[in-house]
Amino acid sequence: MKIRSVDIYILDIPTVRPHQLAMHTIVEQSIVVGRIINDEGLEGWSEVATIGGASYGEGTPEAIKANIDKYITPHLIGKDPIYYSNIMFEISKAVRGNYFAKAVVETAMIDLLAKSKNIPAYELLGGKIHDSLPLAWTLASGDTVKDIEEAKEFLRQKRHKIFKLKIGKGDPYKNVDHVIKIIAAVGDQARITVDVNQAWDETTANYCIEALQEGGVSMVEQPLPTWNVEGMARLTERFKVPIMADESANSVQEIYQITKHRFGNSIALKPCKHGGLIETKKVAAIAEGAGFGLYGGTMIESSLGTAVCASVYATIPEFEFGTELFGPMLFKDRITVKDIQFNNFEIVIPDGPGFGMEIDLEKVKHYSREYSYSLN
């Protein structure tokens, strides 16, 4: 079994409502979809998502595609995906960084290999521990009454009992008051966390985290810019509420430094920012060894990318803070024939061959920026 071709597509899919972060508000989400075909015509598919072009990180959709096409694909053609770990090791020596791009090709190879063996991808990653995982939702209307009503409705539906609030945009003190009112309304039934997306300076963080801790928030995600690792250490030492590293927690080397120096005391996993599924397993092991709590993060992937994340998260023992794999609920449409299943406050791990998702080729064509006849 040899790799015959690699195709990369950028898709833009609208969302059901605006999704506000400190650096960007998503109304149309860009995803990068990869397809690897072997010499027998079998296909492996993958997806990563980015947020706001270059506003979240350096890995823009355009750069991901360009770097795979130009610099990574030559290392794939003619190779047997059964040796995907060795292939990725060789790519790591030839291509620096580019974690999102590496995640695309590694994931597509894993999907292809698992399909060739007619097994779920998680069996290639050590086997699943979980059949389902707790699922968080982001309350994002900005209106306290509406957010409380939405939280209560989702609790009634048994859809979510972990709620995150993005509080990096606007007046920090008003945002804190907003969070505390929501905790007062539903905190006896749900866990409430906040994500600052690097938006605070250390002085603001000290005042706001103290109020959030007293108000009952259960976790504060990336309150400071990624460069301020010493500030993250000071906040971690000062407060009892967990301080989570996200944007600062990418490579295994970064995770090692975070755990060694306590630049936080919990980690948000995201396969794309770590460079693939094997690297995600390494990152999780380092965090576990350091006693750090884990959160199964999202870059707002569609159903395909969410299945990828769910498959690797299913093989990791503990998620103290649950997962955030709600992406398919935010998209107006999907590129898979069937959607991810959610049940009783949790996301259900797909069980089909590969990542358990059958691709809808017409939808890929419809949303692709660069329509390609190779999809026919």
Report d(CA 83, CA 118) in Å as an integer. Answer: 17
Catalytic residue among 166, 174, 181, 282: 166
Give the closest residue to 163 by CA, choosing from 172, 349, 144.
144
DSSP string, 221-242: E--S-TT-HHHHHHHHHH-SS-
Cα-based distances in Å from 216 to 85, 151, 162, 242, 265: 43, 16, 13, 12, 18
- DSSP 8-state class, residue 161: S
Query: Helix, strand or coil for residue 266?
Result: strand
In the chain, the N- to C-terminal Cα span, in Å, equals 22
Spatial distance between the Cα atoms of 267 and 297, rounded to a whole number of angstroms: 9
166 annotated active-site? yes
What is the distance between the alpha carbons of residues 283 and 315, in angstroms, rounded to a whole number? 13
Q: 81: which DSSP letter?
A: G
Structure tokens at 252: 């295994």
Which class for 375: exposed (0-12), middle (13-18), buried (19 or more C-beta within 10 A)? middle
> Torsion-angle region of residue 81: left (phi > 0), alpha (psi -120 to 50) or beta?
alpha
Q: How many residues does the chain have?
A: 376
User: Residue for token digits 């569609």?
Assistant: 302
Distance CA 330, CA 129 (A): 27
Q: Give Cα 149 to chain centroid, integer Å.
A: 26
> Where would I find the H helices in the chain?
61-67, 84-94, 99-117, 144-156, 172-186, 202-215, 229-238, 252-261, 271-274, 277-289, 303-313, 327-330, 361-367
- For the annotated catalytic residues, the residue numbers are 166
